Amino acid sequence: MGIITILWEKWVEFRRDFYKITLAAMIAPLMYLLVFGMGIQTMSHGKPYLHYLIPGVVALTTMNGSFNAIAQNLNVQRLYEKAFDQVMISPTPLWQFMIGQIIAGSIRGLYAGGVILLLVWPIHTGLIFNGFSFLVLFLNGAVFSALGVVVSFLARNHADVPRFSNYLIMPMAFLCNTFFSTENMPKEIRSVISVLPLSETSSIVRHIAYGEVWNFSGILVLLAYLFVLTAIGLWFVYQKQNL
């Protein structure tokens, strides 16, 4: 019941701010697609650059949507509204609170990615987005939702969340196989970037979109990130309870 309660809370929040959430999910990705995809007429891996760009933008949109949906809201609830203190004294098991936050953030990110897919659908690129694509995007959202929980506890004030976003989210948005391939990067840098969650997501979604064979090991990488970040988030949650 605790997980359902968290999901219902996020659903009420989504209904209340539907237009704000949808517009926020659209603006930045649309600018990326217009400026890079239609403004730069070039080829990448033998395909129009727009075809390369769309899977990367969808992947980073799920990342941003999931992270922002959890990190900022939970930080405000914890530091300013003190609503998190009510969770501490409620009968809701804290692990259910954590899982509910992750699932809700994943759904929000998936919604944001789905909006972008609907916007580019009339272009008829021939790219494939199937059930596996959405599974990978959901896992990507779960990873960054869990990261959002961790960041919300590390933040000491409201300004800290954008700082963490600048340190972690923005570099991944531009470097992790989203706007350009990492093949020409120095080997040492490429080896680090290639194991980041957004790199795995972009790579898998792009291979699926092209109708190519993709490596299931990327799913294991995302699950490993999810497990570690969830464990860290649970540690913060239960430490807060024991203060």
Predicted confidence at residue 130, as pLDDT, reads: 92
Summarised one tens digit per residue, pLDDT across range 19-50 is 777 776 776 676 666 656 555 555 555 677 88
In the chain, the percentage of residues whose pLDDT exceeds 90 is 30
What is the total count of domains within the chain? 1
Amino acid code (one letter) for 128: I
pLDDT top residue among 57 and 76:
57
Looking at the predicted structure, is the pLDDT value of residue 122 above 70? Answer: yes
- List the single range of 128-137, 214-223, 233-242 with lowest mean pLDDT: 233-242
Q: What average pLDDT score do residues 87-105 get?
A: 82
Give the separation between CA 140 and CA 61, rounded to whole angstroms: 10
Do 47 and 140 meet the contact criterion of CB atoms below 8 Å apart? no
Q: How far apart are CA 190 and CA 59, in angstroms?
A: 19
pLDDT over threshold 70, residue 13: yes
pLDDT for the residue 32 = 65
- The answer to whether 10 and 65 are in contact (CB under 8 A) is no
pLDDT bin (cut points 50, 70, 90) of residue 132 is: very high
Q: Which residue range is the domain that position 195 belongs to?
A: 2-241
Instruction: Please state, rounded to an integer, the average pLDDT across all residues of the chain.
Output: 83
pTM of this prediction? 0.83
pLDDT, residue 243, reads 43
